[in-house]
Homo-oligomer: A and B are copies of this chain.
Amino acid sequence: MSLVVRNVHRADAGVVDALAGYGVATVHEAQGRKGLLASYMRPIYRPAAIAGSAVTCSVAPGDNWMIHVAVEQCKAGDVLVVAPTSPCEDGYFGDLLATSLKARGVRGLIIDAGVRDIAVLTDMGFPVWSKAVYAQGTVKETLGDVNLPLVCAGALIQPGDVIVADDDGVCVVRREEAAAVAAAAAKREANETDKRARFEAGELGLDIYGMRERLAEKGLKYVDDPPQ
């Protein structure tokens, strides 16, 4: 049996937007270095930076039928997350589906498979993070699930989790942790602004972070290159 779960709970819209502003690297650090999708998930154009609530969709290899089902479950501010049930690089998604999602206010697509029509998607400004760019067409024969938890590019994603994506890749934040992570990210960013000024002024990380003593304790030695 295949299932579509309607009306999944989303995180607070203000929290989602705040997370978009911090970006993937900061959010990932702020939540304890977890939640990243695999490094092969790359954006089709740069720069691109979004955050949104996950609508999840599992699909059979070479079959994009369920994406049409998932579109109906998407609302403004969502991000569609698609994962095949076995590895596949086919082009499940193109400009027509993007037009449909954009009309609903969806912010982007995360797909552990292929995407096509990327020239048009780039012109439309509809961002996609994918495993591959590949024109291979798909069929509409087999069911999957919408809004059940799934593993996408090595990360567990639950419907309603917050997806943060930018030029560095994709990160997932649990819905119930989103507010706390946004607060931690804000703090981390404030701290970095201060550090950035000191680095720009020529200070060294060795001094800013007070590392010299611990390095020496661990056994670091300095020698000079002999004259030649």
Whether the pair B134, A192 counts as a contact (CB closer than 8 A) is: no
Residues of B with C-beta under 8 A to A215: 65, 69, 143
Whether the pair A195, B134 counts as a contact (CB closer than 8 A) is: no
Whether the pair A62, B65 counts as a contact (CB closer than 8 A) is: no
Residues of B with C-beta under 8 A to A171: 135
Q: How far is the CA of A118 from the CA of B220 in the complex (A)?
A: 31
Residues of B with C-beta under 8 A to A104: 202
The reply to whether the CB of A87 lies closer than 8 angstroms to some CB of chain B is: yes
The reply to whether the CB of A42 lies closer than 8 angstroms to some CB of chain B is: yes
Chain A 186-228, CB-CB to B under 8 Å as 1, else 0, gives 0000001001100111111110010100010011111111001
Number of A residues whose C-beta is below 8 Å from B? Answer: 99
Whether the pair A223, B61 counts as a contact (CB closer than 8 A) is: no
Residues of B with C-beta under 8 A to A205: 68, 71, 96-97, 100
Chain A 90-124, CB-CB to B under 8 Å as 1, else 0, gives 11001111011001100000000010111100100
Residues of B with C-beta under 8 A to A140: 211
Using A24-B135, A46-B119 as known contacts, list a sample of 18 further A-B pairs with CB atoms less than 8 Å apart, ordered by residue number in A.
A1-B219, A3-B223, A4-B223, A5-B224, A6-B223, A7-B224, A60-B62, A62-B63, A62-B88, A69-B206, A69-B215, A71-B206, A86-B89, A86-B90, A96-B192, A100-B204, A133-B169, A151-B156
